[in-house]
Amino acid sequence: MNNFIFENSTKVFFGKGCVKEFLAGTLKEYGRSVMLAYGGNAIKNNGVYDEVKAILMDEGKTVIEFSGIMSNPTYNKVMEGAALARENHVDVILAVGGGSVMDCCKAVSLAAAYDGDIWRDYWEKNGIIDFEPLPLGVIVTVTGTGSECNGGAVITNEEKKVKTGRDYPKCNPKFALMDPEYTFSVPKKQTASGGFDILSHIMETYFSKTDDDNISDDISEALMRSVIRNLPAALENPQDYTARSNLMWAATMAENRIIKLGKACDFQAHQIEHQLGAYTNCNHGCGLAVIHPAYYRYIYQDGLDKFVRFAVHVWGIPSEGKSADEVALEGIRALENFIKAIGLPSTLRELGVTDADILPEIAASCNIAPGSYGNMTKEAILEILNLCL
């Protein structure tokens, strides 16, 4: 196991009714001016907006709305939010939504409290945050990224054609309210892509160095089995509280740093998806679904024992009488079948990417993840992308 320092400062309130029970009391710790941040109409259609707004009004808060945060949030949107927060002397940001809203608001919380250029100083490189960002609280309405319990924020700089994430502990939300019932209204496609994102975070951690006996891999196997059971159940019945709860907490567990302790975790498939997203604005989980099987076929021999373990422990594939190669490939095939069964795309074409000419640029702009298996190169990434076509 590699050395590590562990810190997670987010206070979590989980379960049915938690917003009604705890939001008002939690906000008493902050000033009067609340920036209510969200995406499009989803939270207006499912009643969450009305519920939250009523609590804020009852508490006598001044509410500044920051809406229209798009999927794959842009740096321009971050700057819009930061200007709004400054002009209105916002005391606390309340982000209501999924990864896009939460990530955008983490960057806003930094930008509103910083005089320089946050892209240059904190996204192009890892910077040191020696000031206090605006406090941020989140209400999760769609499950997947796990952004609620980490300092990670993935932002797209459209001018530079770069989508990149940084994880700063100082950007951890102060609190996260997580009511699984808020996710009942999430459409099937987003449920599947968010669910696959959870699985991807766990797999990227599991298939990362080091590979000595470690607690992370054991926990990860249990988490993966849970997602594989609960995701089809949530798709079958969107109001299955047990399935929605397990998915919501699995998403947090995958990204609250616990399973990453002692592992490299530089997430090669995510690095590829982020650049695919920067060029095509594709849905994050759908992009990952296309990339994973081709990427794993490419690298599995460099982590053969682990891929065998994945097949046996996660997918229940019998190994007797088979070569390691056969078992590993059966595990990857099981993953591929799962992707199809939950209705996610398997090729770039299905994702709407038909222009092969953009693939060399995407490959050339991807980060290489040395902690992942295989000695990845930009040429290898291009081969993988071509296999995905």
Q: Is 263 in the site for ligand NZQ (CB under 6 A)?
A: no
Q: Which stretch binds ligand NZQ (CB under 6 A): 58-66, 99-107, 112-120, 358-366?
A: 99-107
By a kind-dependent CB cut-off of 5 to 8 A, residue 42 interacts, out of ligand NZQ, Zn ion, none, with ligand NZQ
Q: Out of Zn ion, ligand NZQ, none, which partner does residue 180 contact, by CB within 5 to 8 A per kind?
A: none
Burial letters 10-47, b for 16+ CB under 10 A, else e: bebbebeebbeebbeebbeebeeebbbbbbeebbeebe
> Which CB sits closer to Zn ion, 77 or 284?
284
Secondary structure of 221-237 as H, E, C letters? HHHHHHHHHHHHHHHHC
According to CB under 6 A, which one of 61, 270, 292, 309 is a site residue for ligand NZQ? 270
Residue 255 DSSP SS3: helix
Only one of the segments 111-119, 131-139, 195-203, 367-375 lies at the binding site for Zn ion (rule: CB under 5 A); that segment is 195-203
Binding-site member from 10, 26, 109, 145 for ligand NZQ (CB under 6 A): 145
- Axis-axis angle for helices 75-87, 99-111 (nearest 10): 60
Name the token pair of 168: 């700063």
DSSP state letters, 273-334: HHHHHHHH---HHHHHHHHHHHHHHHHGGGGHHHHHHIIIIIH----TT--HHHHHHHHHHH
The correct pick among 12, 93, 136, 153 for binding ligand NZQ (CB under 6 A) is 153
Out of 197, 204, 217, 330, the only residue in the binding site for Zn ion (CB under 5 A) is: 197
Give me 113's structure tokens: 């409290």
Shortest Cβ distance from residue 301 to ligand NZQ (Å)?
26
Among 97, 135, 331, 345, binds ligand NZQ (CB under 6 A): 97
Torsion angle in degrees (nearest 10) through CA of 316, 319, 325, 330: -30
Give which of ligand NZQ, Zn ion, none residue 194 binds (C-beta under 5 to 8 Å, depending on kind).
ligand NZQ
Which of 66, 168, 182, 310 touches ligand NZQ (CB under 6 A)? 182
Task: Calculate the alpha carbon distances from 120 to 40, 42, 372 in Å.
Answer: 29, 33, 27
The helix (H) or strand (E) run that includes residue 148 is none
> How many residues make contact with Zn ion (CB under 5 A)?
1
Binding stretches for ligand NZQ (CB under 6 A): 39-42, 46, 71-72, 97-101, 103, 141-142, 144-147, 150, 152-154, 165, 182-183, 185-186, 190, 194, 197, 255, 270, 284-285
